Structures are given as C-alpha cells and as structure tokens.
Chain A
Amino acid sequence: MNQQNADIETRPTHKHERTPGEPVNRNEDANHELSVRVRDLKLWYGNNQALKNINIDIYQKNVTALIGPSGCGKSTFLRCLNRMNDLIRSVRIQGLIEMDGRDVNDAKMDEVALRRRVGMVFQKPNPFPKSIYENIAYAPRMHDLVSRKAEQDELVERALRDAGLWNEVKDKLQEPGTSLSGGQQQRLCIARAIAVKPDVILMDEPTSALDPISTATIEDLMDKLKKQFTIVTVTHNMQQAARVADYTAFFHLGELIEYNDTRMMFSNPHTKKAEDYITGRYG
C-alpha cells in the first residue's frame, strides 16, 4: 500500500554522481563505448502514453536485457530504436534517441538507413517464404554488400556459421526456410539479421516460442555475437537475462524503474519494485 514510498525508497549504492541514463552500478567487465543514448523519451499510442521519460545509455558490444511485466512497454521501447513504430499510425514520439551523433527521429534521418544499422529479430520466427540461401542472400544483395556470386556464397556461409546453423543446413540450402524447425528458423532469422552487418541487433523475446534446447543454443549464440554486435533483448525469463545480459533494464508501466549491472540487479536490486518483480512477488 505504500506504493509511493516504494518508489522513493532506494538503497545508497552508487559511489559517484550519475547522469540520467547511466546504470546504477557499472559492470567492470563490460565495454562502455556508447551505442545509443536515449533521453526523456515519451511515446503515445493515440492518447495512451506507453513510455514515460525513458533515459538510458546502451553500450556497444554488450547484451542489454529489458525485463518487466507484460504490457510495460518493452517491445514499444525496442521498436523505437529502429523506428518500427513508424508502421503504427497512432504513434507519437517525443524526446531524443541518439545514435552515432544523430537523432534517430530527426526528419532528415532515413528510417531505412537506420534499420540497416539496427536489425531486429522477432518473437515468432518469420523466415521469408524463400529458400534458406535466399533468406540470407536477399538483403545483402539489395544493399550491394556483395557483387559476385562467390562473395555472396561466402557471406551466406559466414552468416550461417555465425548463427550456428551452418552444419545443420549446409546440404539443403535450396530448401524453403519454413521447412526448418522453430529453433532453426529463429537462428535463420538471426543469420539473416547479421548478414547485413548491422551495429545493433534488437531481439524481442527471441526464445519465447522455442523449446529449452533451442533456447540454450540461442543464448550461447547471443554470447558469441556480442563480440561483433550490440544486442538489446527483451525477455520474460529472469534466468535468461541473468545468464546472457551485461546490463539489465527493468520497465514498469511505461517507466524505466531501474537500469543496472545484471549481477547487481539480480542479487541486490536498487529499487523495491525491481526486487519485488525479480523475487516473483508480482508480475
């Protein structure tokens, strides 16, 4: 019943003065080059405000996990980062999302160019109704990343190897992508995303439709991929966040309640709400 108090109640753990957007605790193993800087981000679906004053710094070559109860705005936030929200007509956005020194929502920013650099993997695997090979080769060819057939073959193989799928599909590259199992399809989608060499890969509950073994495979994959890419992932699975993420952000009712080093978040959360959520008291 002391909801207001819970909001205010924080534990004095930080040693230096934080700017808004910085995590409560630093993960000393992590890289701290800035990838995306979000300041005072507000978003409305019509009259319904889904994001309130979000401030967060996302660092390069890390895995950042977004957690929080259903409907708290995780996917909405994720979609802001590559402007997939443009596809929803009622959306209105305020605030700054900065990448590479540019405001992502600026009128001069081409959303197609943005999406080239910020790829996305969806909750349900959505391979194109094309062959496995074409699923991957399609985008790089359009982007002129390859000019010769040999180059293209090489790129497809690289992407599939990076996605840990090569050994399973190398003999059936011409079969339709939809003929794979769910976990394989999801890795195909990851391969497809990394084939265009983005900076950031957004993943919205990438394992929620998968069995435990495929989930474990994809978690391993995320760990490997963060050497090359910045990964922002949404998950409902606490253990998964704890296993793969360097930093974790906890959302609640459209607000970013706590952004913290993952180990600290799960061992000694800074806010009461995060603690309640993590210990399973609600949500």
Chain B
Amino acid sequence: MSQSFDEITAQLKRRHRKSARLKWMSMGALILAAAFLVVFIGDMLVKGLPAFQQAQVQVEVSYTEQSMQIPPAAVNDEVRNLVSRGYLRLIPGRMRDNPELMGTTRMEWVLADAEVDQYLKGHYTRLSDSQKRTVDRLEEAGRAELRFNTRFFTSGDSKMPELAGIASAAVGTVLTLIVTMLVSFPIGVMTAVYLEEFAPDNRLTQIIEININNLAAVPSILFGLLGLAIYINFFGVPRSTPLVGGLTLALMTLPVIIIATRTALRSVPDTIRQAAFGVGCSRWQVVRDHVLPLSLPGIMTGSIIGLAQAMGETAPLIIIGMVAFIPDVSTSFTNAATVMPAQIFTWAGEPERAFIEKTAGGILVLLAVLISLNASAVWMRKKFERRW
C-alpha cells in the first residue's frame, strides 16, 4: 500500500516552496526587463523634454551704424552675454534686408544664450552671480521665459546649442532611407520570390540560404568596412552622402526583408498555387497574380521593421563619414549629410551641458518615429493576419 495523501502532501511542502520560488524569480526577471524600459524612457524624458523649450529674453535692440559693424553693440552690455551670439550675428543681415530698421530702437524677444536657457531650466550653468541676478530680474519682469523650441525642428546642426536642431539630420535620414528602400526592397522581394517559388533545390540554393542567415547576423560595423572599401574607395561613390549611406544600409536591410518575405510567401497555402496552376497559369503568373498579392501585408510588415532597423543604425555610417557637421538642410543625394542617430552621436560628444538635453531631445524624436513605425507594423500584422 502506498503513502496516504497527507503523508505525500507533507513531503511536498518543500518542493512547492521551490516551485513558487522559480515562479517569482521568473516573474521578477520580466518585471526587471520592464523596469529597465521604464527607467530608460523616464530618464530620456527627464533629460530630453526640456530640449523642446528654449529660453527667450526681451531686450532693447538698437539698430545703429555701430551695430552694423559690431553686432553685439546692438544690445546694452548688461544683457549682451545673455543673448545668443547666433542671434546677434544675424543683425547686420537683417538690417540690410530691412533698411527701415536703421536708427530705431525696439524691445524685442530674442533667443537667449544656452547658459541662460540652462539656468532657467534649473540646471548647472556657467553664468556669473551678477548675470544670474540679471536673469532673475528679467524673469520677474516677465522679460525672460521658456517658449516652445521651433528651431529644434527647423534648423540644422550648430556649434551653439541654442541654435542646433535636427532638421538636417531628419532630411538626411529620409534621403538615406529612400536609397536604402529603393535598393533593398526590390532585390529582397525578388530574392525571396526566387528562393521560395523558383529555385531548384540544389547546393547553390542552400548556399544562398545559409548565406542570408549569416548576413543577418554579421556585425553592422563590418558593413561600414564594406562601404568604405568597395563603394567609396573602389567605385568612387562620394563619401558622407545619403547615396553611400543608403547603399550600405540597403545591404544590411536586405536579409531582414528577404526573411520576412519568405515567411509571408510560405504562409500562402499550396492549395492556392495548385488552383492557379490548374486554370493554366504559368509559374510567374501564379506568383504575380495570386501569391504576391496575398503575401503583401507580410512583406510590408517585414519591410517596415527593416526600415526601422536601418533608421536606428549608426556604426556603419560613422565609418563612411556620415557624422559630418551639417548646418544647412540639403536635399541632394550626393551632398554630405548626416542622419538622426549620427546627429545624436555627434551631440553626445559635445562638451557643453546644453547639448545633453539636445541629445536626449533628438533621442525622443527618433524613438517616437521608431516606435510608431514598429507599432504600425504590429498593427498591420494583426489586421491582415490570416489563418488558412
């Protein structure tokens, strides 16, 4: 006769405790991972949100002959160091464009220096005590405040934090990704169609398949070496341009698109192919008219994910020189350009504290775009998911 329930239950106590421990540990791991995400996003928000605001001060600007020659003279010396040098530098130009300004003196809201900006945001600043008192006074009088930072979205890079923006990097990203997708999407889809629908099952096909899987796992920086040695040094594609960046990223995105497309093609049941063959379609017609349309959502989802990956890639672009300083937006594929993650990298290396918030601000923008891209891919997968 075996043991009774009570005996067994008593023996089991210890084992149940162990079992519970595994459950809590594994749950803890998941919570830990989620906590990392929360801490990380929180940290970026705290550091980056201030970047969307920028200090402005109201000062008296006198447009005189002297300020035409020496722009800083346009504002009185008490507040001179509180105004952005970038703004002052523009005064002669504005006077040339608007001659009626000459001789007038106006109260104007002007861009404040980054140090004032940091001071108003409560961060460490290099302002002297008397300058701080001046800013306090201006603030009390309602003559210094934080406003929405449009410039961050409309201007290019600058050595002065208060002037720096992400526009040129954003445009560079768009140009680069256009090249990337123009190259990798057709080649990727064609490769996948070939492998799934046409390729004979021979050694070459197997080599191609193994090769694609390996390519997906090659460290990204090595693609940069390829871009440098082959595109730039051998084919003479101009350095630092969206063209060479896009071509390099295209090779990295290729395996992602191929693998996603193959999965999508494979999920179309063979019965559909047989039905189409049955009504006399040729192999290509079957693919073009039946298989491809049915797998399009899967292909698009995979491509969006590939696009998002390419958008966040930095290492290979550094190697091919896309970390250039680009103050002006350029819309050419063959001019030097930078991309969002490269801009983030550049700013992260700047010594001024004000650039930390620019960096985090840029990160927030990039993350917002990436998360919406990925979310739309997930949404598409859900919406068009089909069970056969």
Which residues of A come within 8 Å of B, CB atoms? 100, 102, 109-110, 112-114, 116-117, 142-144, 197-199
Which residues of B in the span 6-49 have a Cβ within 8 Å of any Cβ on A?
A: 8-9, 11-12, 15-16
Q: List 25 A-B contacts (CB under 8 A).
A: A100-B4, A100-B5, A102-B5, A109-B5, A110-B5, A110-B9, A110-B12, A112-B15, A112-B16, A113-B5, A113-B8, A113-B9, A113-B12, A114-B5, A116-B3, A117-B2, A117-B3, A117-B5, A117-B8, A142-B15, A143-B11, A144-B11, A197-B2, A198-B2, A199-B2
With CB as the reference atom, state the residue of chain B lying closest to A144.
Answer: B11
Measured CA separation A117–B11 after assembly (Å): 14
> Which residues of chain A are within 8 angstroms of B15 by Cβ–Cβ distance?
112, 142
Residues of B within 8 A of A (CB): 2-5, 8-9, 11-12, 15-16
Q: How far is the CA of A116 from the CA of B2 in the complex (A)?
A: 10
Residues of A within 8 A of B8 (CB): 110, 113, 116-117
A116 contacts which chain B residues (CB < 8 A)? 3, 8
Q: Knowing that A110-B16, A116-B3, A144-B11 touch, tell me 10 more A-B residue pairs with CB under 8 angstroms.
A: A100-B5, A109-B5, A110-B5, A110-B8, A112-B16, A113-B9, A113-B12, A117-B8, A143-B11, A198-B2
Report the minimal beta-carbon distance from A257 to chain B, rounded to whole angstroms.
32
- Kindly list chain B residues whose C-beta atoms are within 8 Å of the C-beta of A143: 11
Pick the 10 closest A-B CB pairs, nearest first: A113-B8, A113-B9, A110-B9, A197-B2, A116-B8, A113-B5, A112-B12, A102-B5, A199-B2, A113-B12
A-B contact count (CB 8 A): 29
A116-B16 Cα distance, complex, nearest whole Å: 14
Name the B residues within 8 Å of A114 (CB-CB).
5
Q: Which residues of B contact A100 (CB under 8 A)?
A: 4-5
Provide the residues of chain A in CB contact with B12, threshold 8 Å: 110, 112-113
A150 to B11, CA, bound (A): 23
A102 to B9, CA, bound (A): 13
Name the residue of chain B whose CB is nearest to the CB of A108. Answer: B9
Closest to B14 in A: A144
Measured CA separation A210–B306 after assembly (Å): 48
Q: Which residues of B contact A142 (CB under 8 A)?
A: 15
Chain B residue at minimum C-beta to C-beta distance from A112: B12
Q: Which of A102, A113, A117 has the most CB of B within 10 A?
A: A113
B3 contacts across to A, CB distance below 8 A: 116-117
Q: How far is the CA of A112 from the CA of B19 in the complex (A)?
A: 12
Nearest CB on A from B230, distance (A): 47
Q: In the bound complex, what is the Cα–Cα distance between A142 and B15 (angstroms)?
A: 9
- Interchain CA distance A142-B3 in the complex, whole Å: 15
Point out the residues of chain B lying under 8 angstroms from A102, CB to CB: 5
Q: How far is the CA of A41 from the CA of B233 in the complex (A)?
A: 80
Closest to A115 in B: B8
Which of A110, A114, A142, A198: most chain B Cβ within 10 A?
A110
Residues of A within 8 A of B2 (CB): 117, 197-199
Q: How far is the CA of A116 from the CA of B8 in the complex (A)?
A: 8
Q: With a CB–CB cut-off of 8 A, which chain B residues contact A113?
A: 5, 8-9, 12
> Which residue of chain B has its CB nearest to the CB of A199?
B2
Contacts of A144 in B (CB 8 A): 11
A201 to B239, CA, bound (A): 75
| Distance between A226 CB and nearest chain B CB, rounded to angstroms | 16
Residue of B nearest to A196 (CB): B2
Given the complex, which residues of B lie within 8 Å of A199, measured CB to CB?
Answer: 2
Question: How far is the CB of A109 from the nearest CB of chain B, in Å?
Answer: 7
Bound form: Cα–Cα A208–B9 in Å: 35
Nearest-Cβ distance from residue B91 to partner chain A, whole angstroms:
73
Residue of A nearest to B13 (CB): A110
Write the chain B residue with the least CB distance to A198.
B2
Chain A residues with CB under 8 Å of B11's CB are: 143-144
Which chain A residues border B5 with CB–CB below 8 Å? 100, 102, 109-110, 113-114, 117
Q: Closest A residue to B4 by CB, please name it.
A: A100
Q: How far is the CA of A147 from the CA of B9 in the complex (A)?
A: 19
Chain B residues within an 8 Å CB radius of A117:
2-3, 5, 8
CB distance from A193 to the nearest CB of B (A): 13
Closest to A117 in B: B2
Give Cα A38 to B144, complex, Å: 83
- What CA separation (Å) do A142 and B16 show in the bound complex? 12
How distant is the Cα of A17 from the Cα of B16 in the complex, in angstroms?
46
Least distance between A182 CB and chain B CB atoms (Å) = 29
Chain B proximity of A158: nearest CB distance (Å): 15
CA distance A110 to B7 in the complex (A): 11
In the assembled complex, the Cα of A117 lies from the Cα of B12 at a distance in Å of 13
B239 to chain A minimum Cβ distance, whole angstroms, is 54
What is the bound-complex CA distance between A162 and B351, given in angstroms?
79
In the complex, what residue of chain A is closest to B1 when comparing beta carbons? A199
Q: Which residue of chain B has its CB nearest to the CB of A143?
A: B11
Chain B nearest CB, measured from A72 CB (Å): 28
Q: Complex: how many Å from CA A113 to CA B15?
A: 11
- What is the bound-complex CA distance between A74 and B8, given in angstroms? 28
Q: Quote the shortest CB–CB distance from A225 to chain B (angstroms).
A: 14
A99, closest chain B residue (CB): B5
Question: How far is it, in angstroms, between the C-alpha of A113 and the C-alpha of B16 when the chains are bound?
Answer: 11
Q: What is the CB-to-nearest-CB distance from A142 to chain B, in angstroms, rounded to a whole number?
A: 7
| Shortest CB distance A118–B (Å) | 11
Q: In the complex, A17 Cα to B108 Cα: how many Å?
A: 107
Q: How far is the CB of B209 from chain A (nearest CB, A)?
A: 28
CA distance A109 to B4 in the complex (A): 12
Specify which of B5, B11, B15 lies most central, judged by the most chain A CB atoms within 10 Å of its CB.
B5
> Which residues of chain A are within 8 angstroms of B4 by Cβ–Cβ distance?
100
Residue of B nearest to A110 (CB): B9
Q: Tell me the bound Cα distance from A109 to B130 in angstroms.
A: 78
Complex Cα–Cα for A199 and B11 (A): 18
Minimum distance in angstroms from A15 CB to a CB of chain B: 33
Measured between C-beta atoms, what is the minimum distance from B11 to chain A in Å?
7
Determine how close the nearest CB of chain B comes to the CB of A82; give it in whole angstroms: 13
A116 to B15, CA, bound (A): 13
Report the separation of the CA atoms of residues A117 and B3 in the bound assembly, to the nearest whole angstrom: 8
